[in-house]
């Protein structure tokens, strides 16, 4: 599902056209740290005037109720059941492997513990309690001792009788108000290095969290908004959803140009105001791609800007389409710096 993949777009068609449910990621889309990102709240409130809006987060540290309260404090109107979390996806997945009331070693915070107990599981923090599975999610206070307990519990390979290991998500980084910080994927990798095993992931980009959202909201034509290609956009693509990449979070223009097949968004926007604006059509002529006056051509390994246009976002859209359609790996291309200039807001 790639950029401008719908050939029937009219000149005034917005990314919201035909959509019945908008599903939004949180970190890097709605907020970075405790504060809202520019234009996010008012744009999503406007969406909610005509459509259902739900929120999907890989953040396992908080409960759905606390996330809903935070969003409401930012100016949105959100109920707990409108928030789908990676701990909920983890419990959905775990129930098919180790049914409750099994004993789970939890590495993570309140959000994961609450969902485990709601699902009927017993929670422990020690490998000495003989857990039936390890479930690992991010929390700011996860310590070396927590990772060590997980490693002790996972010392045996699963195919040799070892217990299952579920990770809520594998995000390498988390956007914060002060910058980018290590995410759950980094902590999962630390345990992996110790035990030589791979975790099964429940959250984005895996499908269980999207299946939970689709079922909960009864969506038939959903649109997913995210800031990461490797989790948000890939996950939406795997779930068969159209997607929006918003440049207010982790991934930047250079990442967009290099996006592999399966991680390419349907739409690229500077911020969420552009959900409500006509999305430009793509025009192809003489081997070149034009979007709103910005024209890019790929000749061999050369990426050429024929016209910059009046907006950097349109130049990026044209460049992405041209690079993706060329079939040439970007690492062998000569790409003008102007094509991946980054004037967009980021945490």
pLDDT tens-place string over residues 189-243: 999 999 999 999 999 999 999 999 999 999 999 999 999 999 999 999 999 999 9
Instruction: Choose the catalytic residue: 27, 227, 251, 314.
Output: 27
Predicted confidence (pLDDT) per residue in 64-112, tens digit: 999 999 999 999 999 999 999 999 999 999 999 999 999 999 999 999 9
- Report pLDDT for 345: 75
Three-class HEC string of the chain: CCCCCCCCCCCCCCCCCCCCEEEECCECCCEECCEECCCHHHHHHHHHCCCEEEEEECCCCCCHHHHHHHHHHHCCCCCHHHEEEHHHHHHHHHCCCCCCCCEEEEECCHHHHHHHHHCCCEEECCHHHCCCEEEECCCCCCCHHHHHHHHHHCCCCHHHCCCCEEECCCCCEEEECCEEEECHHHHHHHHHHHHCCCCEECCCCCCHHHHHHHHHHCCCCEEEEECCHHHHHHHHHHCCCEEEEECCCCCCHHHHHCCCCCCCCCEEECCHHHHHCCCCCCEEECCEEEECCEEEEEECCEEEEEEECCCHHHHHHHHHHHHHHHCCCHHHCECCHHHHCCCCCCC
Pick the CATH number of 87-201 from 3.40.50.1000, 3.40.50.460, 3.40.800.10, 1.10.510.10: 3.40.50.1000
For the structural domain made of 21-84+205-276, what CATH number should be given?
Answer: 3.40.50.1000
To the query of whether residue 27 is one of the catalytic residues in this protein, the response is yes
Instruction: Choose the catalytic residue: 25, 64, 132, 227.
Output: 25
Provide the whole-model pTM.
0.87
Domain with CATH 3.40.50.1000 in the chain: 21-84+205-276, 87-201
């Amino acid at each position: 599902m790639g950029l401008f993949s719908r050939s029937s777009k009219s000149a005034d068609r917005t990314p919201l056209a035909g959509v019945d449910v908008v599903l939004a990621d949180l970190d890097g889309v709605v907020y970075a740290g405790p504060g809202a990102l520019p234009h996010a709240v008012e744009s999503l409130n406007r969406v909610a005037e005509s459509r259902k809006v739900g929120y999907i987060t890989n953040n396992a540290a908080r409960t759905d109720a606390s996330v809903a309260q935070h969003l409401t404090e930012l100016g949105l109107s959100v109920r707990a059941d409108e928030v789908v979390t990676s701990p909920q996806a983890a419990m959905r997945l775990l129930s098919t492997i180790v049914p409750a009331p099994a004993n789970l070693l939890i590495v993570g915070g309140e959000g994961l513990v609450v969902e485990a107990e709601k699902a009927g599981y017993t929670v422990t923090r020690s490998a000495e309690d003989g857990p039936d599975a390890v479930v690992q999610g991010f929390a700011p206070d996860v310590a070396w001792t927590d990772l060590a307990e997980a490693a002790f519990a996972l010392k045996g390979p699963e195919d040799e009788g070892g217990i299952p290991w579920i990770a809520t998500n594998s995000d390498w980084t988390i956007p914060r108000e002060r910058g980018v910080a290590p995410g759950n994927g980094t902590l999962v990798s630390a345990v992996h290095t110790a035990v030589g095993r791979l975790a099964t992931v429940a959250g984005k980009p895996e499908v269980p969290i999207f299946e939970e959202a689709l079922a909960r909201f009864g969506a038939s034509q959903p649109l997913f908004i995210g800031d990461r290609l490797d989790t948000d956009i890939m996950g939406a693509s795997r779930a068969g959803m159209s997607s929006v990449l918003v440049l207010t979070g982790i991934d930047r223009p250079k990442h967009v140009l290099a996006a592999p097949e399966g991680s390419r968004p349907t739409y690229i926007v500077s911020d969420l105001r552009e959900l409500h604006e006509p999305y430009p059509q793509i025009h192809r002529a003489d081997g070149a791609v034009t979007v709103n006056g910005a024209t890019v051509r790929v000749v061999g390994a050369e990426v050429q800007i024929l016209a910059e246009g009046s907006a950097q976002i349109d130049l990026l859209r044209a460049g992405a389409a041209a690079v993706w359609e060329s079939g040439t790996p970007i690492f062998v291309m000569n790409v003008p710096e102007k094509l991946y200039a980054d004037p967009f807001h980021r945490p």
